Structure 1
């Protein structure tokens, strides 16, 4: 599991929006302004925990380690192979257009099954806030205001 620090940006009733600067190679590139227009921020929405969080707090977040190769294989390679195999096997029985649509239908069915599987096991892979590293300074609305005497 990967752990990283993030800043609390917004707090809602059931979720928290966290943010941090992107530190990838793209984020370090001097030409990234041309690609993104601004500094790159990574946002993450997590379920609210029992911690007393305030906007601006720096928190420790744990994200599950998932293999990028495995995910790319599941999302890109399997559907491509499924489409090619379905189209190749059905083109002999049906017309080309029918075989094409059957290939698309098989890919749609695959993604439907993947969606059902994802909903069932998603809780294992959700990021979560472990604790507060640094609390934000609380500023009173009357600080610095001059009151008439």
Structure 2
């Protein structure tokens, strides 16, 4: 079975898309090649790295990438995780499916470290729920039904 490629898009490729990439790879890496990118890449937020490590997923070697790095690659599924990325998403020829699910941006949280980490945990948990439930229904089960 050939693995399908998934590109998770966000604005900065600093938190939500990075966490989604790590979660999908961890849960469904046997079925998918997973990448993430941003329309305006920045840095991978240390808070995202930390809250992912709390659940045993290491994204410390991830880097923030531009969506431009992927425009000439075959992408089967594009998953946008913020409204801005959906609005500015480039066209990917041959993308079989484009899915949009917006999550709150934890990078916008203000306050001390505990407050910021809680915002990142909340976003992580929302994305985790999505990748374990809705994602499975939209991608895996629909694909299985279409295959026969």
Please indicate, yes or no, whether the TM-score normalized by the shorter chain is above 0.5.
Answer: no
- Relative to total residues, which structure has the larger strand share, 1 or 2? 1
Q: Give the TM-score normalised by the residue count of structure 2.
A: 0.30
**Greater fraction helix:** 2
Instruction: State the TM-score, normalizing by the size of structure 1.
Output: 0.29
Task: Find the structure with the greater CA-based Rg.
Answer: 1
